[in-house]
Chains A and B, each alone.
Chain A
């Protein structure tokens, strides 16, 4: 294998990992507050079409990403009002959000299908990007790749170093206790859910404006679910989300290059790889029940309302 191929593979891995990082980090924050939002897949799709449509019609991808984040927030708001206010079952509501998102995005996207869009430009950082090997490996990505790393740093710092992060973790462990000592549990959970929604929206827009870039019905192809699995795989730790996302990005890319390596497996079987890998990885991590129990936010998925 040539160095060029290797570099190209690593670059594609990074691109494939980026939307997973956004979606999974957003969901991680939501889950650390004790809320399980299974609507990531649907939210990503709505973010994807919102970002694509606005980006295409206004010609500004910045506006596109803002629209995607906003669409994600609105989707998350539906979820938050239902689960936090009306105390509906989080699993059922998350499923509903995904089914709704699939339908809504397909409906809105009908007229955009197959249209070309100028994808997110790759930066070319002066001087640095010209360094051999390292340049293309580190300094020639689009801005969202760098933003995903920044997001990781921010989430990590927020959770471990700030009072807000402490409060978020506390709410995730025991909303009843947090309420008893006078913390605004509902506000914390709303914020966490909406943040997760915004991240999923951006992740979706990355699919339709950078990775592909175009709109196809159902283009997330289960990435939202893989992001959910990543959070479990990461045992709710941001650094492991990052590592897991790159691992999955790698698996996705491997499938594209496998044929080139003279591996004569039907392409359908290669396409199964990311999904099969998700199952395998989940099994491996769940075998160690102690680790899961120790790290899983204790109130995850359980309803709580301060006045009911």
Chain B
């Protein structure tokens, strides 16, 4: 019989291995799922996990999708470390896109180098404003930020729908629910010809580095971590809970907002009814799989981006629904959480002690 037992010290090796084992288990499950669906599992895995990476354009797409995932995830991770559960990054991303678009539309066709920076700043501020609502409600009324931030996702999406169907609809757009196309000077510059790689990934990597500096080296980062690990200790030491909640939510709102404007001013090029295929939610998985650590999150974001590409590829080549991406994402997180348990615990084979039964005399 196997029994779970607490390790005397958390296992550092397991901490590193857990995400890798989880990813491996996900691949194995993928293999089984493809077989179950009557596809040649090896070929299907190749289509899903390898084919997207075999062209320059594919590699570019990998980075294009990594950028928003990474941006959202580094912000969320800072909150998660402090037990601030912002799960509304999708909404903050949406508002970021709205705010940035608003700036672009306000300037009309005026050409200026300042418009793009203004759009980006507006996107960041929009995301922060949207995240400020749950922050205010939690610090003022102790309302769970989990539920409020999530409700705000739906509200943000309705707002987006209203704008693209109504006031912001492109008058020359044949009644499609979308804004006008952005002008060149309103778009993030492309970095590599033949791909869609833009400045977004640079922002994302830069911010990932900054987030590492913040969490590992600054006193503010330390205070957030104490609040997450032992809230009573944070109160005892005089680390203000309110300040932590505000900080965590504003940071994650800012990065999600930047991700949002990065999408519309990047690969999409205009405001549409959907600006994200659930990046804000997938980023939750990225944050966990990346171990809430900046370097891990970069790797996890790449993996998650590959899952998106694989899903699209599988739809084209294998006729599988692209929703398979969501399935894999969920599985990955389950496996990770399960493997995580073995950082602090280990399985021990227990032989039932015969002594207690009275066999010894």
Contacts and interface: CB of A to CB of B under 8 A. Distances in A.
A308 B330 CA distance: 28
A157 interface: no
Contacts of A38: 146
A185 to B, nearest CB: 15
B281 A99 contact: yes
Contacts of A275: 151-152, 154-155, 158
Nearest to B136: A283
Interface in A10-64: 38, 42
Given A229-B147, A282-B144, A88 B337 contact: yes
A221 B148 contact: no
Contacts of A87: 4, 341, 344-345
Nearest to B148: A279
Contacts of B288: 92, 96
A86 B4 contact: yes
Nearest to A111: B321
A268 B330 contact: no
A86 B141 contact: no
Contact of A279 (B4, B137, B166, B325): B137
Contacts, number: 148
A216 B298 CA distance: 34
Interface string A238-275: 00000000000000000000000000001011011001
B146 A96 contact: no
A271 B282 CA distance: 25
Interface string A60-98: 000000000000000000100010011111011101110
The contact size tier of chain B is 35 or more
A86 B330 contact: no
Contact of B142 (A86, A95, A97, A292): A292
A272 B5 CA distance: 48
Given A88-B338, A92-B288, A99 B321 contact: no
Contacts of B151: 222, 225, 229, 275-276, 278-279
Interface of A: 38, 42, 78, 82, 85-89, 91-93, 95-97, 99-104, 106-107, 109-110, 217, 221-222, 225, 228-229, 232, 266, 268-269, 271-272, 275-276, 278-279, 282-283, 286-287, 289, 292, 305, 307-308
6 contacts: A104-B326, A107-B327, A269-B158, A282-B148, A286-B141, A308-B345
Interface of B: 3-6, 80, 85, 87, 137, 141-144, 146-148, 150-152, 154-155, 158-159, 161-162, 165-166, 281-282, 284-285, 288, 321, 323-331, 333-334, 337-338, 340-341, 344-345
The 5 closest A-B pairs by CB, nearest first: A103-B326, A100-B330, A106-B323, A110-B321, A86-B341
